Chain A
Amino acid sequence: MTDFGVEKKILKGKSFKFGDDISTDLIAPGRYFHLRSNMGELAKHVLEDADPEFAKKIKSGGFVVGGKNFGLGSSREHAPTIIKIAGAEAVLAKSFARIFFRNCINVGLPALICDTDKINEGDLLEINLGEGTIKNITKNLEISFSPLPEVMVKILGDGGLAEHVRKNRGFNL
């Protein structure tokens, strides 16, 4: 099943490219621990230690594109949440750390596993969540991404885990 269940099936925007092993400490630095209850403010510092200008650049939308093991480290759900708040519509990586991946789905941020070597900084991408394809318009390339397990599609389709549980008064997987 490749349908991500999200309402908007086709996403279009620019790539913001990062390397391998982007940790949650890089995404949501510990020195801003006190801002965790103020996500809007915390989002101004998203990925700051990997690219100090990122929060400003992503404002008009686009995608975070990483290498392998994206999101390794802590369980802080604030990491995918502030990526989303900052303006990114999806995260693409060769592979994800487990907790980060699960958190992405829970907060309603599509996390796509694909060959990100085919994407450079600034490439224009069109992602079709229904078909499971990414068009790299800049490079005129088509890239496929791995489908999500069905439970995750259901959670994402409900707008995240909190909404899923609120609606069903429990799990309905």
Chain B
Amino acid sequence: MEKTISEKIISRHSGRDAGAGDIVVVDIDVVMAQDGTGPLAVSQIEKMGFDKIKNSSKSIFFIDHAAPSPKKELSNTHKVLRGFSKKTGAAISEVGKGVCHQILIESYTCPGDIVIGADSHTCTSGALGAFATGMGSTDIAVGFVLAKTWLMVPETIKVNFKGKLNSGVYAKDLIIYLISKITSDGATYKAIEFAGEASDGFSMDDRFTISNMAVEAGAKTGIFNSDEITRKYLKKQGRENCYQEVTADDGAKYENVIDIDCCNIEPMVSRPHTVDNAVPISKLGKNKVDQVFIGTCTNGRLSDLKIAADILKGREVASSVRLVVAPASKNVFVKALDEGIIKTLVESGAAILPPGCGPCVGVHQGVLGDGEVCLSTQNRNFKGRMGNPNSFIYLSSPATAAWSAVKGYIADPREVLSK
């Protein structure tokens, strides 16, 4: 039978001919947890009576959500992860290395893999042609010790991107647009396959942004087929040998097919307090911002920082705004330093954070005050997300964020990019 990408990968990992709706136990290639979910995974491993992990080279704990630690309780949980890693040989990604999903795509995930992580945005790795999905700490604990998990093979929604994005419109606008159309539970329990002629031209950074937010429509994973662009990306990191072609079969069965014409998309903004509460920027009205945050697993990559720096070059952040920037990883940070991007950002008035999740999770590094408004390039704007339930979060692309930081209110980047 013709198969979707998810059905193919799951079949290969379960040793049976798996189709949508089947429940299977699969071998997993990569398993990870972060500092918010890892300590619970460690205690569950102990509770299950295991003292070894199955595949130490691809079992990783990331210290990224509260890094460096702002509180003694968190410092102590970081110690738990370090101690467990030392005991079992599990890899540990330390303070300063960056966001888990970014490091997975830089160093661990290969096309055709099954990746599970105790973080909902594990679906980011789907951009490399992997079946990558988020789970809770106990599922991940089991993944660490058995290198297996159970899955229901998802039905797949195919999204065909056609046409070309206009100047000032980015992958982030596209995925926010899609979520606003299908809503925050439009893909629950399902996989999304991103395809179409436009998708073939997307850079890996574009694809990561799109896959990252698949979960914001409820999806189990958001997956691209692998191609030359994937291969070149892996080659750049010295990982070309793990490239393999991953595609859906012609005639694979989809639950739904959605066509999106990229030419019709404007810069998009998600309004408080849900991602699907989004509008084209021309319909937004004037919204003053107190803080702008550029970074995260959604938009903290080199191309994102470069887009922001190009807009901020020779300009200053409005005096009423704090601009906070967090490179997604050490590699991104180093390249952004080499290319002068960081200098431009700092000169414009940005505060640069160490690689990591920054203020996205509401733990530290830019917690909002009562009534304050933040425009962020992150993936979520739920009430309380950035540490204060009495604040308001809008989401946009890095270009919209950078231009808004200059203007002091949420502003259309086409105003500056078309000049």
Q: Which residues of A contact B (CB under 8 A)?
A: 21, 23, 25-26, 29-31, 33-38, 49, 68-69, 72-78, 95, 97-99, 102-103, 106-107, 149, 151, 160-162, 165-166, 170-171, 173
Q: Does B152 contact A (CB under 8 A)?
A: yes
Chain B residues positioned under 8 Å from A95 (CB to CB): 185, 188
- The answer for the CA separation of A43 and B388 in the assembled complex, in Å, is 18
Q: Kindly specify which of B133-141, B197-205, B234-242, B405-413 makes contact with the partner chain.
A: B133-141
Q: Does B233 contact A (CB under 8 A)?
A: no
**Is the Cβ of B218 less than 8 Å from the Cβ of A103?**
no
**Is the Cβ of A161 less than 8 Å from the Cβ of B139?**
yes
Chain A residues positioned under 8 Å from B363 (CB to CB): 30-31, 33-34
Find the A residue at minimum CB distance from B154.
A98
**Is the Cβ of B134 less than 8 Å from the Cβ of A75?**
yes
Q: CB-CB contacts of B74-111 with A at 8 A, as 1s and 0s?
A: 10110010000000000000000000000000000000
**Could you tell me the distance in whole angstroms from the C-beta of B14 to the nearest C-beta in chain A?**
12
**Could you tell me the distance in whole angstroms from the C-beta of B104 to the nearest C-beta in chain A?**
15
**Could you tell me the distance in whole angstroms from the C-beta of A29 to the nearest C-beta in chain B?**
5
CB within 8 Å of A: which of B10-41? 23, 25, 36-37, 39-40
Sampled A-B contacts (23; CB under 8 Å) = A25-B385, A29-B384, A31-B387, A33-B66, A33-B363, A34-B71, A37-B39, A37-B80, A49-B384, A49-B389, A69-B185, A73-B380, A74-B120, A75-B119, A75-B122, A75-B134, A103-B139, A107-B136, A161-B139, A161-B142, A162-B141, A162-B142, A171-B25
- The answer for the CA separation of A173 and B150 in the assembled complex, in Å, is 9
**Residue A98 contacts which of B80, B188, B274, B367 (CB distance < 8 angstroms)?**
B188
- The answer for the CA separation of A28 and B36 in the assembled complex, in Å, is 12
**Residue A72 contacts which of B36, B39, B71, B218 (CB distance < 8 angstroms)?**
B218
Task: Using known A-B contacts A25-B382, A29-B389, A36-B77, determine if residue A75 contacts B118 with beta carbons closer than 8 Å.
Answer: yes
- The answer for the CA separation of A161 and B383 in the assembled complex, in Å, is 30
CB within 8 Å of A: which of B144-172? 145-146, 148, 150, 152
Find the A residue at minimum CB distance from B47.
A162
**Residue A102 contacts which of B48, B136, B141, B389 (CB distance < 8 angstroms)?**
B136
**Could you tell me the distance in whole angstroms from the C-beta of B125 to the nearest C-beta in chain A?**
14
Chain A residues positioned under 8 Å from B25 (CB to CB): 171, 173
**Is the Cβ of B48 less than 8 Å from the Cβ of A165?**
yes
Find the A residue at minimum CB distance from B188.
A98
CB within 8 Å of A: which of B51-70? 65-66
**Could you tell me the distance in whole angstroms from the C-beta of A165 to the nearest C-beta in chain B?**
5
**Residue A37 contacts which of B49, B73, B367, B383 (CB distance < 8 angstroms)?**
B73
Additional pairs, 7, CB under 8 Å, beyond known A31-B387, A106-B136? A37-B39, A75-B117, A76-B36, A98-B189, A165-B142, A171-B142, A171-B150
**Could you tell me the distance in whole angstroms from the C-beta of B352 to the nearest C-beta in chain A?**
22
Chain B residues positioned under 8 Å from A23 (CB to CB): 382-383, 385
**Could you tell me the distance in whole angstroms from the C-beta of B255 to the nearest C-beta in chain A?**
15
Q: Which residues of B contact A (CB under 8 A)?
A: 23, 25, 36-37, 39-40, 44, 47-49, 65-66, 71, 73-74, 76-77, 80, 117-120, 122, 134-139, 141-142, 145-146, 148, 150, 152, 184-185, 188-189, 218, 220, 274, 361-363, 367, 380, 382-389
**Residue B48 contacts which of A69, A151, A162 (CB distance < 8 angstroms)?**
A162
**Is the Cβ of B73 less than 8 Å from the Cβ of A162?**
no
Chain A residues positioned under 8 Å from B386 (CB to CB): 30
- The answer for the CA separation of A171 and B220 in the assembled complex, in Å, is 21
**Could you tell me the distance in whole angstroms from the C-beta of A35 to the nearest C-beta in chain B?**
7
**Residue B384 contacts which of A25, A34, A103, A149 (CB distance < 8 angstroms)?**
A25
**Could you tell me the distance in whole angstroms from the C-beta of A107 to the nearest C-beta in chain B?**
7
- The answer for the CA separation of A63 and B361 in the assembled complex, in Å, is 28
**Is the Cβ of B150 less than 8 Å from the Cβ of A151?**
yes
- The answer for the CA separation of A38 and B77 in the assembled complex, in Å, is 11
- The answer for the CA separation of A26 and B36 in the assembled complex, in Å, is 16
**Is the Cβ of A162 less than 8 Å from the Cβ of B146?**
no
- The answer for the CA separation of A33 and B389 in the assembled complex, in Å, is 14
**Is the Cβ of B387 less than 8 Å from the Cβ of A30?**
yes
Chain B residues positioned under 8 Å from A36 (CB to CB): 36, 39-40, 77
- The answer for the CA separation of A34 and B70 in the assembled complex, in Å, is 9
**Is the Cβ of B139 less than 8 Å from the Cβ of A165?**
no
Task: Using known A-B contacts A73-B382, A161-B139, determine if residue A97 contacts B74 with beta carbons closer than 8 Å.
Answer: no
**Is the Cβ of A76 less than 8 Å from the Cβ of B136?**
yes
- The answer for the CA separation of A26 and B272 in the assembled complex, in Å, is 14
Task: Using known A-B contacts A26-B383, A76-B36, A99-B135, determine if residue A21 contacts B73 with beta carbons closer than 8 Å.
Answer: no
Chain B residues positioned under 8 Å from A30 (CB to CB): 361-363, 384-387
**Is the Cβ of B138 less than 8 Å from the Cβ of A160?**
yes
**Residue B139 contacts which of A34, A35, A68, A102 (CB distance < 8 angstroms)?**
A102
